[in-house]
Amino acid sequence: MKAFKFLIGYIGFLLLVSCSTDNPVTIPFENPEVILSIPENFPEVNNAFYANAPTQYGVSLGKKLFFDKRFSTDNTISCASCHIPSNAFADNKPQAIGVEGRIGLRNVPPIQNLAFMRFYNWDGSKLELENQPLVPIITHEEMDSSILEVMGKLKEDSEIVEMFSKAFGDDEITPYRIYASLAQYEYTLISSNSVYDQVIRNDGVSFTESEAQGYETFQQKCASCHSTELFTDQSYRNIGFPINTDSNEAGRARVTGNMEDYMSFRVPSLRNVEFTAPYGSFGQFATLKDVLDYFDEGVLFSENLDDTFKSNGNRIALSDAEKENLIAFMKTLSDSKFVQD
């Protein structure tokens, strides 16, 4: 494991102290940065992480805000209402359910290993995690609020005000500080201790015969998309899933305006996939078996269907035994400690 520790800025302070003993110097607020344990085989963290590295009080504040229902207009829904820790910070509904039972456009994505991601949302509409929180806050089908409304509520809470002061050095509550603290908390949500990880680390754990055979099938038929230790190559692909008929849905094309991206979505990570059913951009499939059956039987053709399917008759052929073993392997990607903490 490698430890990342990013120091905020005591060098200038120490130089100032050493150069002057006549003028009193205000000691900066104490807010040590959090040391994250990151496996050696994981990708590098993204650039935004370096600019907003998690701190002790920033993470505490972010976690507090993550579970705060005042972010919704009627104080009924928090981030954690949809991003449920025991579901790998996803939920078990086909689509997000917002205030007043409103149904969102898409399935709730899990929150894990976000420090290593290059884009956010299923369509990659956000390049930095710090820009993501505003989306659910203002979306009519989700929290249906505004950042000004949220700030007004938080400013009335003396405990929250004190937490902002500890995290940022003064008690000013700003949009960026809200977003930054939420991101700091989410950056700490690293899942890297599954059975698979223990096998790779030679921690005295071995695959069962079924899991080992599933891993072999995975490498042959799945790893071109679900690659790296994140189990996603972070690309956007149209894999021929049943189409959401909502007129607002176009997949990645909503962001790029390019019809070649129509109904393309980010390849999901398979880590903790056991806990994140249902599957698909709007929960089209109830189980992993349903997904594999669909791949085997043949997906929907389109001009921009991913070449992985086009070159194989619009399907990924899988025997019943391969499906069973694949599911066994995918369950080795479950990190029980991550979903219990």
Q: Is 140 annotated as a binding residue?
A: no
Structure tokens at 25: 């110097």
Q: Is 82 annotated as a binding residue?
A: yes
Q: Is 225 annotated as a binding residue?
A: yes
Burial of 270 (0-12, 13-18, 19+ CB in 10 A): buried
Q: Is 83 annotated as a binding residue?
A: yes
In 3D space, the residue among 78, 43, 36, 40 whose CA is nearest the CA of residue 58 turns out to be 36
CA-CA distance, 194 to 215, in Å (whole number)?
14
Q: Is 19 annotated as a binding residue?
A: no
Other beta carbons within 10 Å of 41: 12
| Per-residue b or e along 305-316, where b marks 16 or more CB atoms closer than 10 Å to that residue's CB | bbeebeeeebeb
Structure tokens at 164: 């902002």
CA-CA distance, 334 to 272, in Å (whole number)?
4
Q: Is 79 annotated as a binding residue?
A: yes
Q: How large is the C-alpha radius of gyration of the chain?
A: 22
**Which positions make up the binding site for heme c?**
79, 82-83, 222, 225-226
**Which positions make up the binding site?**
79, 82-83, 222, 225-226
